Amino acid sequence: MASHRRPKQPSRTRRVTVLTATAAAAVALTTQGAQAEPKASKKEVKEKVDKLYEEAEGATEKYNGAKEKQNKLEKEVANLQDSVARGQDDLNDMRNGLGSMATAQYRTGGVDPSVQLFLSSDPDSYLDKASTLDQLSSKQAEALKKIQTKQRNLAQQRQEAADKLKDLADTRKELGEKKKGIQAKLSKARGLLNKLTAGDRARLAAEQARADRASASRVDLGSDASASQRAAAALSAAKSKIGSPYVWGATGPSSFDCSGLTSWAYKQAGVSLPRTSQAQAGAGTQIGRGALAPGDLVIFYGDQHHIGFYAGNGQILHAPKPGAGVRYESINNMPFQFGVRIG
């Protein structure tokens, strides 16, 4: 009879050896997979980052538009609420006046007028009182009409305020979503930059610093004699901010986004411009590239999400992007759309 022996179990040493070999193979495969993934070059990362910055700037201008709408709505709602409160006070005064008149009429109208006339020791005096009663009734009717009109007006104002409050709530929600979108793009850009080696990051920073320094040392802008007085004043104000950092949503005086710089600079010249680049694109007379003079606004990209000043000799002065300061650049660096001359 064959013996039924229990199969011999592998020794602990052998099990450890097998597990170690398996783990080593897994690490090797993982390493090979990681090595197989091509590493982005500094140039590729810069292109991706610049694209993200461009998208973030487009989103920023939409954010600026929503922010401006929010500010406008907040003022309109506050004015309406103040008007409703004042109207309610007026309505209360009208009602009190009407009540006083009704009380007076009741007190004098308790006896039938014909009986009062018959009993009166002084008919002439009574007739004077009766005439006053008629006037009182007429005033009462007029007061009622005024109250009804005031009530209708107040109801309309309350409805308008309610509609604007809803619009304001929707706008605030939109603002929050746009802010998250901008921050996500900027965060992604930072993540890409952090994947570069320390040396590559240092070289990119040095390139940015050189571009800022080149702008700080005045470029050849030619003559600005053709600029209008206000345009020249606005451009001069913008020049005083060379080197100020780009910050999305900022309108100065220490940091700016693109439309924040142009609106701030023109404000120093006594001209009020809309907040966004798209709105500023329609704030003056549209002109072609050949007609540009220093101080004119210059619109870039098909969706008009970037704006700057024409500075002369093919140069623009603008707040370019995150990580860069206000500086001069060639007008050819971005897709030109048209110029805008502020009257």
- Catalytic residue among 45, 66, 258, 292, which? 258
Residue 65 is predicted with a pLDDT of 87
251-260 own/partner pairs: CB under 8 Å, 24+ apart: 251/275, 256/319, 256/326, 257/57, 257/60, 257/61, 257/64, 257/319, 258/57, 258/61, 258/306, 258/307, 258/308, 258/318, 258/319, 258/320, 259/61, 259/64, 259/307, 260/64, 260/319
Distance CA 261, CA 281 (A): 14
Residue 286 is predicted with a pLDDT of 96
Terminal CA-CA length for the chain: 115
Specify whether the CB–CB gap between 309 and 319 falls below 8 A: no
Distance CA 5, CA 294 (A): 100
User: Which tens digit of pLDDT belongs to each residue from 301-318?
Assistant: 999 999 999 999 999 999
Query: What domains lie within the chain, and their CATH numbers?
Result: 42-105+113-195 (1.10.287), 224-341 (3.90.1720.10)
Indicate if 4 belongs to the active site.
no
Residue 33 is predicted with a pLDDT of 44
Specify whether the CB–CB gap between 244 and 326 falls below 8 A: yes
3-state secondary structure of 272: coil
- Catalytic residue among 46, 306, 321, 341, which? 306
Q: Where are the beta strands (DSSP E) in 73-121?
A: none
Specify whether the CB–CB gap between 284 and 297 falls below 8 A: yes
CA distances from 174 to 128, 133, 167, 337 (A): 69, 61, 10, 28
153-158 own/partner pairs: CB under 8 Å, 24+ apart: 153/87, 154/84, 154/87, 154/88, 154/91, 157/80, 157/83, 157/84, 157/87, 158/84
Indicate if 305 belongs to the active site.
no
Place 128 in a pLDDT band, splitting at 50, 70 and 90. low
Residue found under tokens 């039938």: 112
Q: What is the pTM of this model?
A: 0.60
pLDDT at 25 over 50: no
Indicate if 306 belongs to the active site.
yes
Q: Which DSSP letter does residue 325 get?
A: B
Q: What mean pLDDT comes out for the span 32-60? A: 75
3-state secondary structure of 120: coil
Distance CA 235, CA 42 (A): 35
pLDDT at 15 over 50: no
Specify whether the CB–CB gap between 330 and 314 falls below 8 A: yes
- Catalytic residue among 164, 241, 318, 321, which? 318
When mean pLDDT is compared across 218-222, 236-240, 291-295, the lowest value belongs to: 218-222
When mean pLDDT is compared across 97-101, 116-120, 283-287, the lowest value belongs to: 116-120
Residue found under tokens 């080197």: 243
Residue 189 is predicted with a pLDDT of 85
